[in-house]
Amino acid sequence: MSDQIVIAELREFVAREFLHGKDDGLDAATPLIELGIIDSVAIVVLSDFVLRRFGVTIPNAELKPSNLATLQTIASMVNRLRQA
């Protein structure tokens, strides 16, 4: 699955779940943690979604800022884990 497709799915999920649908300005590079869109509680909700939608379990060691910072980095991580 290309990064673009994963990003699109993640974007729709993040917009719905964390932004109340108010996604103006949300793109692949928006800093999700810095802007408080993803906090320590949201990480768990996001992991659930990734498992349900992409069949990928995110191991604890991967739940770090460098992987969760943007839709792009999350998508890259998801695709990397899918291939493993």
Partner 1 sequence: MTLGDLVARAATRRPAALAVRGPDGDLSYGELDAHANRLARALMSAGVRPGDRVAIWLPKSCEAVVAMQAALRIGAAYVPVDSLSPAPRARSIMHDCAVRAVVSRPDLGRAILDGGDGRIALLGIDGLAREPLASVSADPLPAVAVQPSDLAYVLYTSGSTGRPKGVCISHSNALAFVNWAVDAVSATEADRFSNHAPFHFDLSVLDLYAAFSVGAAVCLVPEGAAYAAEQLVRFVREERITVWYSVPSAIVLMMDRGGLLSSPPDALRALLFAGEVFPMKDLRRLRDAWPTLAMWNLYGPTETNVCTAHSVGRIEAAQTSIPIGRATCGNRVWAKTDLGAVARPGESGELMVQGPTVFAGYWGQPPRGDDAYGTGDFVRVGEQGEFQFLGRRDAMVKIRGHRIELGEIEAALGHHPSVREAAAVVVGEGLSARLVAFLGTGSHAAPALLDIKRLCAERLPRYMIPDDAVSMAELPRNRNGKVDRSALVAVAAPRAASA
**One of 11, 18, 54, 77 touching partner 1 (CB under 8 A):** 18
Binding-site member from 9, 11, 47, 78 for partner 1 (CB under 8 A): 47
Largest CA distance in the chain: 34
Binding flag, residue 54, partner 1 (CB under 8 A): no
| Distance (Å, whole) CA 75 – CA 77 | 5
Contacts with 29 (C-beta within 8 Å, 6 or more apart), sequence order: 70, 71, 72
Give the footprint of partner 1 on this chain (CB under 8 A).
17-20, 22-26, 30-31, 33-37, 39-41, 43-44, 47, 60-61, 63-65, 68
